[in-house]
Amino acid sequence: MKKLFLAAIMAVSATFAQAADPYFQIANSWQENRVTGANSIAPDVVIGVKDGNWQYSGMAQFSQPELGNGAITNSVEGRVRYNFNPVTSFKLKPWSQLRLGEQITSTNNFSYYAVDLGLTVPMSPVVDVDFGYRYRNAFNTSNNVETDRLGVEGRYKFTNKDTIGLRYGRSYGDSETNAWRLQYTRAF
């Protein structure tokens, strides 16, 4: 069922690409586990479309608990995001997102969900600061992935179609990490 849902999200994304604004994003996170002191990286790629206030995307990522050591974890995710219309005279832009995903290692795989809430603050016509919160948990809670993440990201739009962003995030719960994430987004 979950694989069928993820395939449906990707098919819907491809369908919307005909009538909406497609985009592509690559990113890498550098993470430090606050409990073990281990450092790791987590590259990912996102393909999606924007249709008015809605965004539909799919993400693929891999990571390792310690750089060069431990089982590699692969994750795939379907996402639906809603960007609310700007509020207040400062043009603040609240948003929310729902994610459904599958995490796969050599010893285990399980499905999870995540809910994100955020607020984008425009600083200038080309610079935004985004404040976000994410709650993530496995459908089967015995998998120990219940985490809360707080983050702040600065984004610079250096052309009409190209944006670069840098985010700092701090996770709590089953994942105690500090992470820096650098991303590049290209709209078509």
- Average pLDDT, integer, range 116-134: 97
SS3 at position 2:
helix
Per-residue pLDDT, 30: 95
Per-residue pLDDT, 11: 61
**How many domains is the chain built from?**
1
Answer whether residue 18 shows pLDDT above 90. Answer: no
- Residue 65's domain comprises 2-187
Residue with tokens 């890498």: 28
Per-residue pLDDT, 15: 57
- For the stretch 111-119, contacts whose Cβ atoms lie closer than 8 Å and that sit 24 or more positions apart, written own/partner, are 111/2, 111/138, 111/139, 111/140, 112/136, 112/137, 112/138, 112/139, 112/143, 112/145, 113/137, 113/139, 114/77, 116/81, 118/94, 119/92, 119/93, 119/94, 119/95
pTM higher than 0.85 for the full model? yes
Per-residue pLDDT, 20: 82
Answer whether residue 13 shows pLDDT above 70. Answer: no
Summarised one tens digit per residue, pLDDT across range 29-55 is: 999 999 999 999 999 999 999 999 999
Six-digit token string for 52: 């008015």
Distances (CA, A) of 139 to 105, 113, 143: 17, 7, 9
Q: Are 97 and 83 in contact (CB under 8 A)?
A: no
- Average pLDDT, integer, range 55-75: 89
Confidence of residue 70 (pLDDT cuts 50, 70, 90): confident
- Average pLDDT, integer, range 58-73: 87
Q: Are 156 and 164 in contact (CB under 8 A)?
A: yes
Answer whether residue 16 shows pLDDT above 60. Answer: no
Answer whether residue 9 shows pLDDT above 80. Answer: no
CATH number at residue 79: 2.40.128.130
Answer whether residue 8 shows pLDDT above 80. Answer: no
Answer whether residue 2 shows pLDDT above 60. Answer: no
Per-residue pLDDT, 19: 61
SS3 at position 143:
helix
